[in-house]
Structure 1
Amino acid sequence: MGLKTFLEGWPVYRQLTGDDPLGRGAATQSARSKSLTPRTATADRVAKSVCPYCAVGCGQRVYVKDEKVVQIEGDPDSPHSRGRLCPKGSASEQLVNGDSRATRIRYRAPYATEWSDLDLDTAMDMITDRVLDARRRGWQDADAQGRRLNRTMGIASLGGATLDNEENYLIKKLFTAMGAIQVENQARI
């Protein structure tokens, strides 16, 4: 390996001797990097989505190959994020493909020491029964002066900042319709 061959492999040498004096193009590319293709180029389709992390609602492009998410990037068509994502939004692909993602319903009965798996219908029925029971037990028709209240003190909601505005709106509507008055969001605390 001669000195010239060694120097040609060095990006600064290519920058100073080539057609890319600012080092923004070919001078920065090695033989290996020239042969690489982005994951987005091999995707079967692109779906538009919204980042799940905060109420800003940054637009995302979700790249899918063989029905698996391979990359998530900012959507340049989004009017408020204009293709940019914060570090959490940029890493949101891990929500779908992460090893620690929960993919089944786990339940630990009161006083039990072990977890068990439940099917979705059983879990939804248990949640429904508990919500209705808490609503019934905490219901108040009127106050001490006889003023109509029609509310429950047995249910409260604390939303998270990972929900977007539409989800928070629907949660507020649901809990208000059930008679709950303690509806709050973590972003306001």
Structure 2
Amino acid sequence: MARITPLEWPVLRQLRSRDSTGRGAAVTSQKTRRTAPRTEDADTVVQSVCPYCAVGCGQKVYAKDDRVIHIEGDPDSPISRGRLCPKGAASEQLVNSSGRQTKVLYRAPRAREWEELDRDRALNMIADRFVESRRRHWEDEDEHGNPVNRTMGIASLGGATIDNEENYLIKKLFSAAGAVQIENQARI
């Protein structure tokens, strides 16, 4: 540990400088002068939305070499005005977690092992099953002959981590597909 000479004492620095109130450079330590923001090394800054709840707080995501290095509240967000809850502030750990699943895994019926799928194949499988279930369970009329134009083979349960806009679009998609069983975790 380096010794501090009496000439470096804050009171003497204050008297030698023009900082008469002792609120500026005179009282700033060497350690503080060497300190740099965590975000200084970032080569990319993007705006995002916190993934944890339906509030939709704005985030600034700082990345270096295609890796997230810091996440903080976005002061330009009209929703959160730069603030994040503890979970939102710690969402960098979610992104960089060693346990994060980054590949699509599929286990066929009665299979014991998971297999890796590419994203396009997985999306096509989901779309094919969605359309087939809608077709197989479509009802033009109920048991009394009333027109219903619905399917009972598709349901949606939205999560609270989806913001209001996404929930609105999901509701519209499933309603347009004829589904009537549309619910959200926030209401249950």
Output the TM-score relative to the length of structure 1: 0.80
- Give the partner amino acid of 1:103: T
CA RMSD of aligned residues (A): 2.8
Counting only pairs closer than 5 Å after superposition, residues 115-130 of structure 1 correspond to structure 2 as 115-130=114-129
- Give the partner amino acid of 2:161: T
Residue in structure 1 matched with residue 107 of structure 2 by the alignment:
108
Instruction: Give, in whole Å, the separation in 2 of the partners of 1:29 and 1:112.
Output: 65
C-alpha spacing 1:29/1:133, structure 2 compared with 1 (3 Å):
farther
- Give the partner amino acid of 2:135: R
Residue in structure 2 matched with residue 43 of structure 1 by the alignment:
42
Residue in structure 1 matched with residue 85 of structure 2 by the alignment:
86
CA apart distance, 1:33? 5.6
SS in 2 for 1:83: coil
C-alpha spacing 1:98/1:136, structure 2 compared with 1 (3 Å):
same
Q: Which runs of 5+ in 2 are unaligned?
A: 15-22
- Give the partner amino acid of 1:115: W
CA apart distance, 1:45? 2.8
- Give the partner amino acid of 2:35: L
CA apart distance, 1:174? 1.0
Tell me if 1:158 matches 2:157: yes
Instruction: Give, in whole Å, the separation in 1 of the partners of 2:97 and 2:80.
Output: 25
C-alpha spacing 1:141/1:45, structure 2 compared with 1 (3 Å):
same
- Give the partner amino acid of 2:84: L
C-alpha spacing 1:138/1:33, structure 2 compared with 1 (3 Å):
farther
Residue in structure 2 matched with residue 11 of structure 1 by the alignment:
none
With 93-102 and 171-180 compared, the bigger mean Cα shift is at: 93-102
CA apart distance, 1:137? 2.4
Tell me if 1:183 matches 2:178: no
